[in-house]
Amino acid sequence: MNDTTVVDLWFDPVCPYSWTASRWLHEVARSRPIQVRHHLISLYFLNEHRTDITPEYRRSTETTRGPGRVAMAAATRFGEEVLGGFYTAFGERVFDEWRRPSPAEYHVAIRGALAQAGLPADLEDAMESDEHDEALRRSHDTGLALVGGDVGTPITCIDGRAFYGPVLNAIPRGDDALAVFDGARLLAAYPQFFELKRTRLSPPVFT
């Protein structure tokens, strides 16, 4: 019998809450047999038709599309299996503390992440290219089809049951990580569960 729990995670590389969710799953994997499969979603695509966001936020999603494009280029060339290693290498360079990286900082992080993940340096060229946008939208739409359009990032699917989130302001560790996982899995399994939410009052913490 295969006791491994399959978890699918749709993430945008620049989203801090995608990062805290991914590190939570890494923490769970220290104690539980889980297989995390990574897929891409795009904050830019999520917000391109919204009228209730500020011009500043819209501009930020436009200027931070590059890392997602590079990740999609890597997945297209080598398969989604490379996304986990690439994402870890990229996130460790960007989410060491809360800030809004500049485009130049993203380029530096991409170069280092590609090298660490053993991926070709020329994938950086995808940052300013729309070559992989169609493939990125397909991955994005696949995630949204599981939960509906009125969501954000990340999207998590446990045992074939998907939900938006969890939106974690800090990374649960140890027993806390396992308790959050068990709770999320239990709620996701109930077909009439839709939403839990409270207002975020402070920036995310990555330590």
CA 165, 170, 176 angle in degrees (round to 5)?
Answer: 85
pLDDT above 90: percentage of residues in the chain: 78
Q: Residues 13, 65: contact at Cβ < 8 Å?
A: no
Q: What is the model's pTM? A: 0.93
Specify the residue for token string 């590059």: 66
Question: So what's the pLDDT on residue 61?
Answer: 76
3-state secondary structure of 117: coil
Q: Which amino acid makes up residue 185?
A: R
Below-70 pLDDT ranges, the chain: 1-2
Structure tokens of 207? 């330590």
DSSP element (H, E) containing 96: none
In whole angstroms, give the CA distance from residue 173 to residue 69. 31
Please write the tens of the pLDDT for every residue from 13-64: 999 999 999 999 999 999 999 999 999 999 999 888 777 777 777 777 788 9
Kind and range of the H or E run holding 111: helix 103-116
Cα–Cα distance measured from residue 43 to residue 131, given in angstroms and rounded to the nearest whole number: 18
Long-range contacts at 81-84 (CB < 8 A, ≥ 24 apart): 82/117, 82/119, 83/38, 83/39, 83/40, 84/36, 84/38
72 and 184 Cβ atoms separated by less than 8 Å: no
Which residue reads 């308790």 in tokens? 179
pLDDT of residue 1: 43
